[in-house]
Amino acid sequence: MEKIDFSRVSVLIIDDNMHMRKIVRTLLMAFGIRQVQEAEDGATGLELFEQMNPDIIITDWVMPIIDGLEMVQMIRRPDSSINPFVPIIMLTGHAEKKRVIQARDAGVHEFLCKPISARALYLRLYSVIAHPRPFVKTTTYFGPDRRRFSNPLYKGSERREKSAILDFTQGSEEADTNQIDFDAIDAEPADTNQIDFDSIDAEPADTNQIDFDAIDAGEEEETGERVAV
């Protein structure tokens, strides 16, 4: 796994629990991230999102005024959002399969269960920066490609046309390349003394990892077709 220089990455944390915001901020600072803003509910989060246009959003689900899911849906509106392509990590204590699918179908990039670990958070950040997914636009969905793998055993018809895929990871003129400095992936990590990245790589498998592939496979077995658009 490459080491990433997070020093130029900005993150918006949205969570109504002050202690959880503090934990996430502490971990982000340990990774070398210095541009961190916080919001205590979805409404305030939307305001800060429009003001700072962060590189990454980490949001709770259950919050007053506007919850995390509603906020994600608003951000993913390409006709009104200042940056509908921003990577979003959903952080929540509710990990039921139904909720995971709801979050994915709202346009969330990654799903992270509480309580969190340094490794779990780092892997989600690494994923959205080092392996950005193309965006898909259809009549019912706009967001990162929800199909994370191709099932060689699937024999049904494809429901998504290739023309629906908007690949903003290949240097398209429409892509907002200023959002994340992908060249920083090859750079030396900032503040390497803050956290032992070798220990992160050496830690056992992340038990909080949500297996989207397994969810998709399970749904294919139940419905006989892909869940993703």
Asked if residue 155 belongs to a domain, the reply is yes
Asked if residue 116 belongs to a domain, the reply is yes
HEC profile of 4-64: CCCCCCEEEEECCCHHHHHHHHHHHHHHCCCEEEEECCHHHHHHHHHHHCCCEEEEECCCC
Q: Residue 202 is part of a domain; what is its CATH number?
A: 3.40.50.2300
Asked if residue 2 belongs to a domain, the reply is no
Q: How many domains does the chain have?
A: 1
Q: Is the pTM of this model over 0.75?
A: no
Asked if residue 160 belongs to a domain, the reply is yes
**pLDDT of amino acid 107:** 97
**pLDDT of amino acid 216:** 57
Asked if residue 229 belongs to a domain, the reply is no
Domain extent, residue 37, equals 10-223
First to last CA, the chain: 30
Tell me the residue type at 106. Answer: A
Asked if residue 176 belongs to a domain, the reply is yes
- Split the chain (229 residues) into runs of 10 and give each run's mean pLDDT: 88 97 97 97 97 98 95 96 97 89 95 93 95 92 81 60 50 39 43 48 51 54 40
Say if CB 90 and CB 68 are below 8 A apart: yes
User: 226: closest CA among 169, 109, 141, 132?
Assistant: 141
User: 75: closest CA among 90, 94, 97?
Assistant: 90
Asked if residue 5 belongs to a domain, the reply is no
pLDDT tens-digit profile of 119-152? Answer: 999 999 999 999 999 999 999 999 999 876 555 6
Q: In sequence order, what E strands does the chain have? A: 10-14, 35-39, 56-60, 88-92, 110-113, 135-137, 142-144, 165-166
